[in-house]
Amino acid sequence: MLDRSPQWIADAAGAHLREPQSAGDGPTRVVIDSRGVGPGDLFVGIAGERVDGGHFAATALEAGAWGVLVEPRHADSLPPGTGGVVLAAEDPLAALQRLATAWRRQLAAVVIGVTGSTGKTSTKDVLAAMLRAAGRRVTATSQNLNTEIGLPLTVLSAPHGTEVLVLEMAMRGPGQIAELARIAEPDIAIVTNIGPVHLELLGSIGAIARAKAELLDGLRPGGTAIVPADEPLLEPHLRDDLHVVRFGSGGDVTELPGVTLLSAGQPLTSAHMARNALAAAAAARAAGVEPAGEVDVALSAMRGQRERLQGGVVVVDDCYNANPMSMRAALDDLAATAPGRKVAVLGDMLELGPDGGRFHSELGVHARDVGVDVLVTVGPLAAYLGAGSGLGAVQSVEDAEQAARLVPTLVQDGDTVLVKASRGVGLEAVSAALRAARPPADGAR
């Protein structure tokens, strides 16, 4: 709850207070979707590409909203005595961001920003679990609330008493992580790695490094920068007034003795998760926590969860996103953990620019080299995987719907099935089809 007066919220957001009515304390939460507004909410009407949320201000107030934050023209259209607080701002999104910064300062929490080409969500999940295991009160990014809209909503969801904010930061182009850093004012920054992601938008690995390093640039003097030990592209951004911690081989944090990572009671043993854990541990230590013992991680949906199905089939549901680095890591993990046949259902990796075909073809070779037994490619780019693999057991389909029909017919008892692609491919349909064909074994995941 933002237990502050309407005037405080208006001042913090840089908004004009039109209607000061307020029943009791401040808003219980801040929302941007009028369909989910309930009593006590502050509804922020943001203008999108298709819909202007400000048009729904009256609907939000009728639903019992504590108040609305909208453009002046929408505030003017509301009749006097609406029964809620009415805040007017020329740019409601900017007002939302200013309000989040003001609330971040009220919390006096340690703020940790996490970005990187791959692994930022898993690193955020592991870090939050380490902190909670030590008894810290943590608010962390949920789902995909890692943008210029989602990040301020995450900050504003943090209750009084929050000790650590763990904020994932995504980007689609230059300047976007800098914007998120200005809102969050991080004390600690993690860059998990630099790789060929968003090449279509940014053009080069160097440009990607510069965009990710905006988080480091956003640290105030005395902040802690946590970076891979083997990433020279970040070195120019490591200022003398920062405390720099490097993780990975040859770095400051190379192992975690006495720490066991679990998810749903099962060990997390993949090499990429172990590396993410090193970055998370470095951040936990910077926040005053020494990770120890068993750490049960609640992995975000579709980020590598393993589900045991009937017939001893294991589905690795990792279809939220994909790029050449994360695909290779997932294939390596499949090779290291599958006791039976290794089945890879791999879809298009998007936003790779003109070299997209080459990246997919090279990944096909890697799939062959790690011993994939059955490869199903999904989408026009993924077809290069099959062409470049040299594998005999390759089937290519056009989309996730076709894959959802095909894959259950190929899977045999004891198989381990990796399902991975960029989010736009929608490969969760394949995981759902496998569950329908082979329900979870004894309800276990």
Pairing relation of β-strands 110-115 and 188-191?
parallel
What ranges make up the beta strands (E) of 281-380? 293-296, 305-309, 313-317, 342-347, 374-378
Torsion angle, alpha carbons of 307, 309, 312, 316, to 10: -30
Encoding tokens for residue 406? Answer: 């095909």
In 10 A of CB 326, how many CB atoms?
A: 24
**Distance from C-alpha of 316 to C-alpha of 170, rounded to nearest angstrom:** 24
Percent helix, strand, coil in the chain, to 5, is 40, 20, 40
Hey, is 396 helix, strand or coil?
Answer: strand
Instruction: Please list, residue by residue across 134-144, b when 16 or more beta carbons sit within 10 angstroms of its beta carbon and e when fewer do.
Output: bebebbbbbee
* Other CB atoms within 10 A of residue 151 CB: 25
Please identify which residue in the block is written with the tokens 């009256």.
58
Q: Which positions make up the binding site for ATP?
A: 116-122
CA–CA separation, 280 and 265 (whole Å): 20
Q: What DSSP state is assigned to residue 220? A: P
Using CA atoms in the order 87, 89, 95, 99, what is the torsion angle rounded to 10 degrees?
-30
Residue 76's DSSP bridge partners are none
Contact at 8 Å (CB) between 55 and 74? yes
